[in-house]
Amino acid sequence: MRILLVEDDAIVAAGIVEGLARSSMSVDRVGTAELAEAALAMTAYDLAIVDLGLPVMDGLELIRRVRRKRMNLPVLILTARDGLEDRVKGLDIGADDYLLKPFLLPELQARLRALIRRSQATASSELIFGPLQLDLGVRSAKLSDQVLDLPVREWEVLQHLIMAAPRVLSKQKLIDSLGDWDREVSANAVELYVSRLRAKLASSPVQIRTVRGIGYRLELA
Ligand code: CA
């Protein structure tokens, strides 16, 4: 999962980046709404965390612009405890959820997982595709009830494939989602993760089909 964090407070931002890295989410942080707009134009994020109190353009205006462009990116707003009016306004203009400052990391992580599930229209933390079962909460994968041992990157690729199914998942979306500003993920690396996953799924009817020029699709043979 690749997340854009828009937060001008460096200490709060550092805490979030570090905490989310531990749950294997990549976070790109910007300190202004203007930089956030530029980042959103470049990269297909899975989710944005937006602090409402930002210098110059505020978080509400940023969300308004994002929604005006019809981007269906899930947005979580961070607000001060006394900011009831802003919170309501934020939800009204298209934020998906909010969290009051100060907050604890486990709550932030749980809300992010819920938002990602909701954006994929799945009600539980379990994703199922044929004999394949992924649990987003504990980040585990099973194939016909046998635990699949997957390194973080392979797990991420499989998660994106299963969430996209039956649609095609673009290779660019995978490249964007797996990397962050400090560490680019190449098309070759994505191909390598996919080929390793194929080897691990070889004994099952689950197949990762290459859709030429676009990306991959999870299929049942
Ligand atoms: Ca702020």
- CATH code of domain 126-220: 1.10.10.10
Q: Taking the mean position of all CA atoms in its chain, how far away is CA 23?
A: 12
* Domain 2-119 homologous superfamily, CATH: Response regulator (3.40.50.2300)
Q: Decide: pTM greater than 0.85.
A: no
Cα separation, 41 vs 114, in Å, equals 25
Measure 9 CA to ligand 1 centroid, in angstroms.
6
pLDDT digits (tens, 9 = 90+) for 78-102: 988 778 888 889 998 889 999 999 8
Query: Cα of 163 to ligand 1 centre, how many Å?
Result: 33
Tell me the CA–centroid distance for residue 33 and ligand 1, in Å.
11
Those residues whose beta carbon sits under 5 angstroms from the ion ligand 1 are: 8, 51, 53
Q: Rounded to 5 degrees, what are φ and ψ at 191?
A: -60, -35
For the chain, domain boundaries: 2-119, 126-220
How much distance in Å is there from the Cα of 51 to the middle of ligand 1? 6
Taking only the tens place, the pLDDT of each residue in 128-176 is 899 999 988 788 899 999 999 999 899 999 999 998 888 899 999 899 8
